[in-house]
Amino acid sequence: MPPFCCAGAVTTYPSDNRSKIVSIRIPESLRTQIDAADGRSCCYCLTSEAVSGIPLTYDHIAPASRGGLTTFDNVCLACRACNEFKTNTVRAIDPLTQESVPLFHPRQQHWRDHFAWSLDGTKVEGTTAVGRATVVALRMNHALIVAARRRWCAVGWHPPLIELKRR
């Protein structure tokens, strides 16, 4: 997978043809609005920039390569892992029903309506078809992030309360 960086004013992601990288400039005023709304946390897995120490990216919820607009309603903060695994995906398979469903939409849906934390706080669990499909598609419980969450839980930095403040 080619490295790509969405920090700052430019977001990039692989297009359908993964050899081609598309860059979209995010206006500063829009970045400011998104940063304030999203609390400097990933809208999918809720990883906090301050906790991870890794700059977040700006994700086009409906990918620009599929006609998604660069507007507040269609751009949100995402951690690099969620953004990289999401690429230009808009639908995924619910592992429980095998049904193809849309991915979670952070601007139109509430995190708590589709996800919950595992009892030990280390894993995101989908509670709906959309949530389950999004967890799998974005690999929200890959081994490295689960190990990191375990450490964050040990010192009280996780699970975040951001979804309670945001929604």
Binding of Zn ion by 115 (CB under 5 A): no
Binding of Zn ion by 26 (CB under 5 A): no
Applying CB under 5 A, the span of 37-45, 69-77, 85-93, 150-158 interacting with Zn ion comes to 37-45
Binding of Zn ion by 104 (CB under 5 A): no
Q: Which of 56, 82, 129, 130 binds Zn ion (CB under 5 A)?
A: 82
Binding of Zn ion by 79 (CB under 5 A): yes
Q: Which of 13, 44, 111, 152 binds Zn ion (CB under 5 A)?
A: 44
Q: By C-beta, is 47 or 109 nearer to Zn ion? A: 47
Give the amino acid at 16.
Answer: D
